[in-house]
Amino acid sequence: MKLSVIIYCNVFQGYPRELLPVTVQGIPSMHICLDFIPELLSQPQVEKQVFAVDLVSHLAVRYIVPKSLCVARLAINTLSTLLGVLPCTSRALLFGPVLPSLTRMCKAFPPLVDDTVSLLMQLGRMCEAQRSLAGPQSSVATLEDDLNQELCRRIKEIFSSIIREAVLSEKVY
């Protein structure tokens, strides 16, 4: 019980996302974090939402159980909802860091591929629409334009990664 309280406090205080692969693999009871992720996803801070999606992706790969699938599906649905309400800059700050997490979730749970591809298609359409508003190679590129262009590029990479690692994978669970 004491360890679960410590993990809960650390998850909500946050720590570098780079440590997630190590902590998820090295701490056998990290699966209890699946209970905390819905609350983390509902936090208004983008950093906590990014952390929650990244955490669930690592937990999904480590613990391929129905609860992980449900929480991963919740994360994808939350991202879909946020996509419709976030302004362009916030959208780039949220989706840029979580794109690799989508590949991990799809690799762990191939049934999530359809929802994830739908999310990526919608995100890609929004990015391309934003790029078209900026005009053809405008002479004054803004930070928002740069973030959006980078996000467009990364969406294409992640789409290819999902196809390669989740759809065309020879390893069937």
What is the per-residue pLDDT across 154-173, written as a single tens digit (0 to 9) for each? 999 999 999 988 887 766 55
- pLDDT of 18: 83
User: Whole-prediction pTM value?
Assistant: 0.84
Can you tell me the mean pLDDT for 95-112?
94
How far apart are the C-alpha atoms of 104 and 162, rounded to whole Å? 8
- Are 54 and 17 spatial neighbours (Cβ–Cβ below 8 Å)? yes
Does the pLDDT at position 111 exceed 50?
yes
Lowest mean pLDDT among 17-31, 76-90, 118-132: 17-31
- Are 129 and 89 spatial neighbours (Cβ–Cβ below 8 Å)? no
The full 3-state SS of the chain, as one line of letters, equals: CHHHHHHHHHHHHCCCHHHHHHHHHHCHHHHHHHHCHHHHHCCCCHHHHHHHHHHHHHHHHHCCCHHHHHHHHHHHHHHHHHHHHCCHHHHHHHHHHHHHHHHHHHHHCHHHHHHHHHHHHHHHHHHHHHHHHHCCCCCCCCHHHHHHHHHHHHHHHHHHHHHHHHHCCCCCC
Residue with tokens 């390893």: 171
Confidence category of residue 141, pLDDT binned at 50, 70, 90: low
Can you tell me the mean pLDDT for 40-64?
93
Can you tell me the mean pLDDT for 49-76?
95
Looking at per-residue pLDDT, the higher value among 90 and 38 belongs to: 38
- pLDDT of 27: 85
Confidence category of residue 26, pLDDT binned at 50, 70, 90: confident
